[in-house]
Structure 1
Amino acid sequence: MGPDEAVIGCTGELVLGTRGDAGPGEVLVRVRGGTETFLAWSDAPLPRGATVLVTESRGSRQVDVIKWADPLEALTDPGVGGAH
């Protein structure tokens, strides 16, 4: 199975933390109007529950991920830069 281009750029939540070079975790990704699970690889270990961004598809339901923080959340968080 070739790379899955539809998943690149999607965000998800780790249901099993990654271990960096020691092995993959598992990510639940919002894609194609639903959610799907993939093996998730990252350069550094990431904990279960972390929000991640899919940066690459390895095919065979495997993806590369990085830790993700939505930059727009800071605009809606009343404790960040809001009125005093």
Structure 2
Amino acid sequence: MAQDEAVIGCTGVLVIGTRGSAGPGEVLVRVRGGSETFLAWSDEPLSRGATVLVIDSRGTRQVDVVAWTDPLDATASYAGGVG
């Protein structure tokens, strides 16, 4: 099945944690003006509630993800501490 390129580069939140090579979890991704769920695969297990970045699409509503921390969030909290 063809890749869903619209989802690559989007962030999401795991609603079911991934199990690394033992199996997928499920991610809720903000895409196309709404939210959609996909099976989520990762190299390492990731916990439910983790923010992830979609790095590839396997087609058939399956994606590869990695843990993600928004670099702008760290900058905002640092800037807030300067007084």
Structure 1 stretches lacking a partner, 5+ long: none
CA deviation string 1:8-47 (max 9, x = no partner)? 0000000000000000000000000000000000000000
Which residue is equivalent to 1:72?
72
Structure 2 stretches lacking a partner, 5+ long: none
Which residue is equivalent to 1:61?
61
Q: How far off its partner does 1:76 sit?
A: 1.3
Question: Does the alignment pair 1:35 with 2:35?
Answer: yes
Which residue is equivalent to 2:52?
52
Q: How far off its partner does 1:53 sit?
A: 0.1
Distance in 1, Cα, partners of 2:7 & 2:66 = 14
Aligned pair count reads: 82
Considering fraction of residues, name the structure with more helix: 2
Question: 1:32 is aligned with what amino acid?
Answer: R
Question: 1:54 is aligned with what amino acid?
Answer: V
Q: Kindly, what percent of the aligned residue pairs are identical?
A: 73
- Runs of 4+ aligned structure 1 residues displaced above 4 Å come to none
